[in-house]
Structure 1
Amino acid sequence: MFERPFWEERIRACLESRSVLWLAGVRRTGKTVLCRMLEDALYFDCELPRVRRQLEDPEIFFGRNRGRLVVLDEIHRLLNPSEVLKIAADHFPDTKVVATGSSTLSARRKFRDTLAGRKHSLWLQPAILADMESFGIEDVDRRMLAGGLPPMLLSERVADTDYLEWMDSYWAKDLQELFNIERKASFMKLVELLFLRSGNLFTAQPLAAACEISRQTVMNYLEALEVTLLVTVLRPFSGSSATEIKSQPKVYAFDTGFVCFYKGIDSLRDEDRGLLLEHLVLGEILARWPRQNVFFWRDKQKHEVDFVLKKGRGKEILAIECKHSHRSFSPSGLKAFRRRYPLGKKPACLPGCSGALARQYWRRRSGDSALQ
């Protein structure tokens, strides 16, 4: 087992200000292993009948474990998990609780109370750069191809059947628990098309025709995919200008390995690296930033910025552009964005060159020295 100090520190930081943490992540991202490695944590697997019996009386359970760090893994297996967490937060605030699941908390049918104001939420991403360092993996191409689920990233070879079996488990164990979706073939066809077009603008009608379902069903399926964390839906950032894209979102698949699988990519070209880099950068952002504050920007002249982050109450706006090589970098999108929104920084992610070279290239192309 590998330590994941970045995530351990994030968990500790969340528990400093709230006593309950909802740790979400798709299956096999390593939630259980991470929780078992937390120092001095008491681990309880709620899939076990004896653990569920212990939690039938939350007052007695938390009274016995007062002042400790308690992990409730797969807490949705309890009869009334929201009541358990509410009692912990309200009556045992000196007891820290980490509860895990494979979706956003609000998606769970059993969670009648989403614990607003009582909990933090943390979304465990497929392996980010800090995890790669912990795993001893330096090859970013390997991370892009295999994906960031630790069992696949750390495997000598990942077979196509591994991705198919993962999707079957997702359908049977995660999706069906939350949503009454009967048309598996249509749903899986939509997943395939979204992953093939990952990182592109989303349009429902062509997908509906290809999957032989209604437009409303496409939207319902997209919502299911979003709350079970299989996709990230980025809304466009916009102000009052009529020339900005205001409603059409972008959809990103949760993991580069599955993007490569559906696209049939088994060796990377530069154009593949550019798209997959966007996914890696998005993972780094979501590991640190509230999902509701992450956007993209595009205007009707096709100027575009990959990611826009609202900081605080939105007075400062961070614009991020991703390019695999500085030779493919054009400052036009960032410049157009900053003409409209001058407050904030404008980083560019250029893994093929040093920061100094990136800034020099920006100045030469744009005459602006504010790149970070």
Structure 2
Amino acid sequence: MNHAAQYWHRLADGRIQCDLCPRYCKLHKDQRGACFVRMREADAIVLTTYGRSSGFCIDPIEKKPLNHFYPGSSVFSFGTAGCNLACKFCQNWDISKSRDMDRLMDAASPDEIAATAAAHGCTSVAFTYNDPVIFAEYAIDVAAACHRRDIRTVAVTAGYITELARGDFFSCMDAANVDLKAFTDDFYVQLCGAHLQPVLDTLVWLHHETQVWVELTTLLIPGRNDSDAEIKAMSRWVHDEMGPEVPLHFTAFHPDFKLDDLPPTPPKTLTRARQLALDAGLKHVYTGNVHDLEGGRTRCTQCNEVLIERDWYDILAYRLTSKGECPSCHASLAGRFGEFAGAFGPRRISVPIHREPG
């Protein structure tokens, strides 16, 4: 199943350097990168998870989370294994930290994934559960197959990708939710084994140089990245560098993986963070992983009317026009919208891959 990888070059000392992410792993023969799924084979790097998935599900688009990208629609979701970050708080650690390729039981070609999404009426396909950057070649091919069927594509990613690779990768994506894990380099180094600046570089580039619809998510961890000072600094940066209309989601941490000794995030922490971000000038700030009706509402930035009313992942009311405008004052809402055909709802459906006869 090994597939020829891109984004690498040979070094003078005989090693091969992977140029996909800012780790720049330098590999000897048969050595794997930190992501575990990119490996040196002979004198090249291969992707060991091409065409293999940890499973396929249909989700509401709000679960990615994306609140301004065709709200209420269904998204066909899948991932592979491995990750290029080492987050001690990973909520999908059984997939992203897997070193067992046998858990990738579902084989699927790009065309089969697109066909399955179409057969189930999904309007988009999401690369999620683990970071799609590490299976970029597979994600790019799947995205091309989806676009041939007028199916949109979504990357759920930490944004840890090099300048060399990001153009190819994001040119195939219609939307992205980027996990801005914190706003200090110490947090990234100590809890993620990475650095903050490459993520910020990716975000600025996405906003200013592409047509990708971008929303941000920050998982607030008690005592680690939830101080007023850090939330204010991050919110100001988002406002100044990406603009006030970029949606920001604050979500609640629950004890898991290597941070199972910490308490869950109190709901009041999310409420406080949301207010700090609003005070910094951001227009669309949401809360997640807690029951918070106000934290799920989308309001008109001009007249403050509630345009979308949510309860968890369920849409209770939808008042936008097909052009994404407020029906009262006709102000445009930032995002991607169309005819609202009703909400998919909060359910998740596991589906088998669609195989063509013969």
Give TM-score scaled by structure 2 length. Answer: 0.28
* More helix as a share of residues: 1
| Bigger Rg over Cα | 1
